[in-house]
Structure 1
Amino acid sequence: HERRPAGRLQVLFPFLLPLLYPALCEQIRYSIPEELAKGSVVGNLAKDLGLSVVDVSARKLRVSTEKLLFRVDPESGDLLVNDRIDREQICKERRRCELQVEAVVENPLNIFHIIVAIEDINDHAPQFHKDEINLEISESVPLGTGAILESAEDPDISMNSLSKYQLSPNEYFSLVVKDSPDGSKYPELVLKKTLDRETQSSHHLVLTAFDSGDPPLFSTAQIQILVVDANDNPPVFSQDIYRVGLPEGVPPGTLVVKVSATDQDEGFNAEIRYSFLGVANKAQHVFFLDSATGDIITHQPLDFEEVERYTMDVEAKDRGSLSTRCKVIVEVLDENDNNPEIVITSFSDQILEDSLPGMVVALFKTQDQDSGENGEVTCSLSRDTPFKIHSSSNNYYKLVTDGALDRERTPEYNVTITATDRGKPPLSSSTTITLHITDVNDNAPVFHQASYVVHVAENNPPGASIAQVSASDPDLGPNGRVSYSIVASDLEPRALASYVSVSAQSGVVFAQRAFDDEQLRAFELTVQARDQGSPALSANVSLRVLVGDRNDNAPLVLYPALGRYGSALFDTVPRAAQPGYLVTKLVGVDAYSGHNAWLSYQVLQASEPGLFSVGLRTGEVRTARALGDRDAARQRLLVAVRDGGQPPLSATATLLLVFADSLQEVLPDVSDHPEPSDPQAELQFYLVVALAFISVLFLLALTLAIALRLRSSSSPAARGFFGSALCSNSGPEITPNYSEGTLPYAYNLCVPGDQTNPEFKFLTSADHFPATQDTLNKDTLGGCASPSGLLPSHVLSLSLSNK
């Protein structure tokens, strides 16, 4: 129950932030004494920022300082001391010591400026540079003459700094504290009683320096005074204060200033020696003073960023131990010798490619140790990057997006931030940050072809791959992982799975069965490529499968019909046939169409070569020359019928040709060569005879029933009808219709059934010959019946099978 209000405040805080922003922009100030123990509380930063304890960890409250002097307690939100804070070390000689601290919070990202003032404590006692001060004072020095003593230094400020000097009790000297031109105090030893070297040649005094701290601190220096003979004129400097401005870039050995002092004494007492008096160790290393000439030269390079001003006391002392002093102030002039620095304070290197313009990518600040225009910094970005810089406050900047991002085009950006000061010449520095663009599913799969056409030969093995579709998706991971499926087809949905399938991973299309060109010549599929993004994107492509014909059916010879032993019908040719006479025509068919069904005819064997010719495409058998006296009356031709496939398939047909002017001349020859009986043929014969007998009985019964119903005797017209039907072949005959040419002539002979001698009563010409072997056998066994079948007769059909 205690955390619920804090949670609500956390939710409402981003909405209340714009209202509180003017107040938050004001700097928060804290004041602490130096040398606080580590872990001491500076102040409740979370409370001063308006954050709850929950927000401290949720919004990642932290502080950013260069030396990590402070940290934030994640449990209480207190700003704690994280390291030793020495005001004298941090702020050196500055009287006002303030530390700039930046507090950073996230969600949303913001920064607050905090000033921590460091208060001085009395942690340093006044110190003399020398523990012992040696003076030589002439006995002729008049009363009231002063001798400047070395000053003590106290790095503390205000009440904790040096406040007074105290001299040990004596009867000859008193102590006077004077103010120097720069505001500091120095002690001067004043003679209050005439010295007498013969009475006392030396004096020992103790000088004590006190500060005003609580409790006060002090230090002492021993003063050894040697009384010498009279030297009544001390040296005098030409200036009490020498002020010099010196650029920081001057090389070592450069003359800074020449101090000069004169002495009105003559001889030995007028010889002057120069020396530094009470100069800090740093200045003693940087500058060198020629004791004879008074020239002050640089001994080390100057650095404005380290020390802006040097203050030195120079003493001029004659040989009579009389001295005077002057102050030399060297102002170090800043030059543009420091490059600007870029400090990244917050950075997010992963950016979604659908991020809107204005999203904060990084926070950074610039700093330049130079001053004035040399320390004024401007920032710029590398070209051709969809980012820009927004200036914040106190040299803080935001790097934000400034355009659309596309990971597929540019997966990462190396953004170079350049900071340039306004010095002459300007100096600059750069830092490069790498920003990785995170993928989103913004690209649908794209097939490599607009459509696919696949040719598959029939009789393919089931399970073989017949095609492969391929699609690419430039996205990464699941967003670019493509799977394939068949979503539509012109085949029936139930039959689709039995014809083809597609591999979901590779896009390979497999045939699930052997295709038959005669049953299915083409079909079309719609294949879909779908990625695994959320939401998923897809694309479709058309795949047309064309089933190609294979030459797997040999030609079939319709005429001449082949017998059991491959024999053909017997054909007659007039003896007087001229060259080109059409003897007969071979008819062949192929189960296929197209090139595989283009038939050609060729003579393989002939009893008399050159006597007959066969049309290559028509199959017409014609005489090539007239019959000679030496040519046999019976000729045999073996003809090959080939299709146009690869490899070609063929069939053969045998033609028996007899040269005769009439059929009677040929019959004796035919009967002389009976073929051996065929049990199968005899069985077929008896079946046909039985069928014919049953048909005759049915027709007779039907006729008798009609006659009884009419109750009248048969009319002459009826008798004429039955009489004329005997051995008539004028009834309709159904024959196959062939596309080219006509079948050759065949002859059917009919005789009465009760005659034992095969005497021919009449000869009829059949215009067409049956198309199949079964029809041939039927006509051979039972042909020449009248259309009604009422008058059966024994029929002899002339062929090699002599039925």
Structure 2
Amino acid sequence: MEVGERKERFLKQRQVLIFFVFLGITQAGSEPRHYSVAEETESGSFVANLLKDLGLEIDDLAARAPRVISKGKKMRLHFDRQTGDLLLNEKLDREELCGPIEPCVLPFQMLLENPLQFFQAEIRIRDINDHSPVFLDKEIVLKISESITPGTTFLIERAQDLDVGSNSLQSYTVSPNSHFHLKLQESPSGTVLPQLVLNKALDREEQPEIRLILTALDGGTPPRSGTTIVRIEVLDINDNAPEFAKLLYEVQVLENSPIGYQVAIVTARDLDTGAYGEISYVFSQASEDIRKTFRINEKSGELLLTQELDFESIQNYTLNIQATDGGGLSGSCVVFVQVMDLNDNPPELTMSTLINEIPENLQETIIAVFSVSDPDSGDNGRMVCSIQDDLPFILKPSVENFYTLVTNRALDRETRSEYNITITVTDMGTPSSRRYSVAEEKERGFLIANLAKDLGLSAEELAARGAQIVSKGNKHHFQLNHQTGDLLLLETLDREELCGPTEPCVLHFQILLQNPLLFITNELQVIDVNDHSPVFSENEMQLKILENTPPGTIIPLENAEDLDVGKNSLQNYTITPNSHFHVLTRSRRDKRKYPELVLDKVLDREEQPELTLTLTALDGGTPPRSGTVQIHILVLDINDNAPEFTQSLYEVQILENSPLNSVIVTVSASDLDTGIFGTISYAFFHASEEIRKTFQLNSITGDIQLTKYLNFEAINTYEVDVEAKDGGGLSGKSTVIVQVVDVNDNPPELSLSSITSPIPENSPETVVAIFSVSDLDSGDNGRMICSIENDLPFGAARAGRCSVPEGPFPGHLVDVSGTGTLSHSYQYQVCVTGDHRAGEFKFLKPIFPNLLVQDTEREIKESSNCRNSFVFS
């Protein structure tokens, strides 16, 4: 019994020894054989005849049982054992199998038995031109400012072509046009990028939109193509100033026109759009009197009355109106308002001489001398004087507006002793008067003139006739010294307070004498002295001027006010010396002076964002008085700088097991412009769906974050185009190359190709099993070691990627280990039976070292087909 058991145990051991011998395998040549076939070739098509390469004759095929071994479960190739032909098992799509990788190689092995041999081979799938270039968008929209200079380039979306090599995308063309030509640039990865280059300056007012056809061409024969529309929106800049329909508006307004009356409507237009085309109307350098009398609607340009007009005070107004657009450019016009006189002033009669008693026997005796006046003009000032018709008196005109009342026949006292004469005056003119003058600001009591002498009277006669001064209104500016006959100032006179800008400044008064009654008209002209300096209404002017404003442009400035008149009034303007501006002094129709700033040299905001100048107003007095104002000029930015990335190419590496939301890289761009033109937003530039799923770009910070787990085995490199765009539509481009770094995250896989069970006990070096191993990882992470335990009567021979180590190893397990960083052992249980059933090759889950014994034992217990004892039949 013991002998039988020992014999049985010996036989079992011998059978197990024979089962695990791997030493008889040979590999026919280390270099693989190469074949090729065009993609999309029909299933069953001939690839090559392998008899010569395998060293076989047609009669050897049955005995050697050749077959194709391919990686994976899908069998794309078939070997015909009748003819030795290698055939396609299915139609091959190069783009589906390899994507952009070129060459596209499908490795396979030919396995021969009796004796066992491996032949390494590969089939190259040749690309055919079965795909046309395709743009992701049917229309590409570019927003380009009309201020962009010729020579500027704009990167536009590239097309995609799934074909490779000569069949891939090779060039681009653009439809003929006068503004752009196409420039091709090669990216760091070798991709052809189309760029539009501006040939001549754009003009939005001339052509607000341009449509081009961009065509992508591949290199096939015949070539395939794809097209997209490039729609260019020309963004407006403020290159047009408002222009009035008329430079001079002349209107007439009745002096009794009501408050709110529409005097005129001024209209300007601006060829620009948006804010640059929105116009607002304001008074330019208007006096206080104009601002009190008129109001302008800043939106409609409607000019309205805000107080009643008086022809006798002011006969006309000259209004300067400025139209300003949203970018600071302006145009101006003049409204000349002529006040139309109405007969709103009653005539006035001034009696100069009156004789109450006359002899009855004298003819043509002068009874009275009088004058008439009316401040109205034209027909309203023409005068008619009359008396009753049935009286022995007539009126005779004398000098202008003076009349005498005389008898036209002898009077008879006995018939009639007295007459009541009514003089009727209509439309009277201005009477003649005596004129005096005095400089303003003279002290109270200043001697103007001696009236007694001027009237040919003595002081005593002047007093005896009760001479008194009669002035219009309640205020009295003069007094008469009856003892001396002197005309004196009753108070200090301020010409500016009395007359404002009116010149000459004349005060009217009358001398009334009694016995006989006599009115004598007089005038006093108040002479201006230079007691006021020119004054600006503000301490500082702020001007906003676009940096692309052409030299020669005139910028109206606020004028100074000087209350003095004549030569003492404002005469000239000067400005601090500088290289950009000079000032001109202009005269209005009313002879008031105003300044204009003239640009001499183009401004550059990036070079000098602001300037401060001092404007000085000078009058003509001796010595001259002056006033100053600071002009603070803000140079407005135009979008003349595109964003620029700090790097045109960012190259980063990231582990494929990196967590979500990891920041891969931060792209950064800068823009020399300010405000909205310098505000940068980041976006992917025509990114594929895969890139948008995998990465997220923060539009504000430029951080690129991971939003999808990476898989080196699926995609190992991403080329991400990033665009930085400013608020004016200009953009810059950069490329981010993301290289996915492989980690050892895939276990080796072992696939059984052939197994022989049972086998005779007396056949040493019999091949028991053939298997292949693979690992999706790369580099050292994908290099593998195959081993079995050393104390078993089996051996292993290399036939591919698997190397065989030396040394002990745990029983009943085959170990396949990665040699890369963080490598682990993955163990597979090998079982065989001694009965007629087929041998079993069981794949276990990867077992980490600390779980090796526990997991192995559990798996062995779970397998009912794996035993430690064998029975022979």
TM-score normalised to structure 1 length: 0.49
Query: Which has a greater percent of helix?
Result: 1
**Higher RCO (C-alpha under 8 Å, 6+ residues apart):** 2
In our comparison, the structure showing a higher alpha carbon Rg is 1
